[in-house]
Structures are given as C-alpha cells and as structure tokens.
Amino acid sequence: MPAYFSVVFQFRRKDLYPGFVSDFYRDLGQAGFAFQSGCYEAENMSFEEIVRYNQARLDDNFELGYEEDGRNDYKQVYFSHLEYEEVRGFWMNFRGIREIRFCLLIPEWEMMECETLWYFKMKKLAPVQRMAVLMWSRGSAAAIQTELELDDGAVRMSALQSGAEPSVRPFAVIPAACGGHAYVNQYTVRNLEANGLLLTDEMITEGNGSL
C-alpha cells in the first residue's frame, strides 16, 4: 500500500444532523470529487446503502475499538477525479473530544515530485485546494488540515482554538478566530468567506521550494 497525502475535514459532534453524510458526499461531488464506488468490504454496496450505514454509525457515536474487527468500522468510498488515479475517503469519530473527521486520501506519488528534494506539483495540488475552499464555504467544516503519511497528524479542534499550529502540508483552512494571521511570516495567508483563513506553505510547492 502506498504512502498517502490526506485532506482532513474536521466537524464538531454537535453539528451532526440527519442527512449529514449525504450532504457531505454531495458537496464533494459538486467540488469535483464524485462518488465512484464503495471499497474493500463495501465495494458491492450502493451509494444509498453506504450513506445510510455511515450516517447510522455517526448517529450512534460509534468509534472502532482497538481490538474490534475493522469490518465494523465506517464504510470507505472511492471518488473519481480526472487528475488522480486513486482518491479514497473514510469517516472517523473521536468520542472523547467530540470530533468527527473525514479523511480524503490520494497517494503521495500522485501529489509530489522529486528533483533532489520533494515538492507538491501544482497541477495536482490546485484541484484539491480549490475543493477544500469550496467545502469550507458550505459552512459545516470546523477546520480542514492536510498531512503526509509520516506526519504527526491533524491537530484537534480544541487545540486549534487554544492557538496550536495546524498541520499545513501544504495548506490548511482554519477559522480566523484561531489566530491564523500569526503565521504570516511562515505561510501565505488568504482571507476566505465564512470567517476562514487559507494557510499555504509555498516553500514546499512547485516552483518555490521543497521538503
């Protein structure tokens, strides 16, 4: 299995509602990442069956136990986009911090290139970043972070609200209230609608720098 680049959408548990999963998949489709099929044990399930299953799991506040059969977890989905050979996504629920996440995965080899050092290819990065900005404008995500396979992972919402730095590999969308303007010397900061800030680490994008 390849290493993956991830876009992590974070939601507060209190913002869950009937139709949440269906609306999220629909918004992803409108942003250019359309439902393709279920994957793994869900490969023969219809879109409606996957939506019902994942919505019911979230409604039940389900979190997979460490020793629990992975087949009981949220059903994963493949999405289609002309720029990528593989796009996969899955839900995660963190009961202890009352946070829901959706992780959208693309193989790192599709996103990045190496000329002595690694950098993100703009042709591959641009559709993902546009999608994230559009998803933010829908108003349901509390934050959107990006990460690579060996990174420490997305920062929890409570830490972001306390001033912790988000995972910006190479971009993140955070509420302006989280103090993103404090990073103007480290990232390019762009104001978004819905009181959001787009942070971009241009030092690891094509034509600017490298990892």
Count Cβ atoms below 10 Å from residue 89 Cβ, excluding itself.
23
Asked whether 10 and 157 are in contact (CB, 8 A), the reply is yes
What type of residue sits at position 47? F
Whether 1 shows a pLDDT value over 90: the answer reads: no
pLDDT at 174: 96
- pTM of the complete model: 0.95
| Digit-coded pLDDT (tens) for 22-68 | 999 999 999 999 999 999 999 999 999 999 999 999 999 999 987 77
**For 182, phi and psi rounded to 5 degrees?**
-70, -15
**To the nearest whole percent, how much of the chain has pLDDT over 90?**
85
| Digit-coded pLDDT (tens) for 95-144 | 999 999 999 999 999 999 987 788 999 999 999 999 999 999 998 899 99
Whether 210 shows a pLDDT value over 70: the answer reads: no
Q: What is the mean pLDDT of the chain?
A: 93
Asked whether 183 and 199 are in contact (CB, 8 A), the reply is yes
Asked whether 188 and 199 are in contact (CB, 8 A), the reply is yes
pLDDT at 72: 85
Mean pLDDT within 176-198: 89
pLDDT at 142: 97
Mean pLDDT within 148-168: 95
pLDDT at 211: 46
Q: Which of 97-101, 196-200, 204-208 is the least confident region?
A: 204-208
- How many residues does this entry show for the chain? 211
Taking the C-alpha atoms of residue 80 and residue 87, their distance in angstroms, rounded to an integer, is: 7
Using 50, 70 and 90 to split pLDDT, how confident is the model at 86?
Answer: very high
pLDDT at 2: 84
**To the nearest whole percent, how much of the chain has pLDDT over 70?**
97
